[in-house]
Amino acid sequence: MYLLNSKYIQIYKYLIVGGVNTVFGYSIFAIFIFFGFHYSLAVLIATILGVLFNFQSYGRLVFQDYSWNLLSRFVFVYTIIYFANITLLLIFDLLVSNLYISGAMTTPVIAYLGYILNKRYVWIKS
């Protein structure tokens, strides 16, 4: 019953919604890589579309606050996430020479970073 404690419910919701958001974002990334876009542009497009999708899904389903007043902080957090993602993609691609695998490898690190930054800087009172 310890894991069902109400203080963990938000984390569980974040992980579930994050899974949906990750599938959305990674699919966009993979589609643009498939069509020959440079990885930094593919990440940029996936991030822009992801910001709009994720702001609504996290705000509504996890933090119960989707006020447009929070969007600028959310965009700032995603700017940090974008540069972290590009850096990790570069590093992982040097190791495995496959952007699809590199993109998948960055996912857990970026997801964790996203939760921490959103909790501390966007949805502070949640």
For residue 56, pLDDT beyond 90: yes
pLDDT in tens, 4-23: 667 778 878 988 998 898 89
Q: Cα–Cα distances in Å, from 92 out to 86, 87, 88, 99?
A: 10, 9, 6, 8
Confidence of residue 1 (pLDDT cuts 50, 70, 90): low
Q: What is the pTM of this model?
A: 0.73
Q: Cα–Cα distances in Å, from 95 out to 24, 39, 43, 99, 105?
A: 25, 16, 19, 10, 11
Confidence of residue 50 (pLDDT cuts 50, 70, 90): confident
Better-predicted residue by pLDDT, 117 or 66: 117
Can you tell me the distance from the alpha carbon of 109 to that of 122, in angstroms, rounded to the nearest whole number? 19
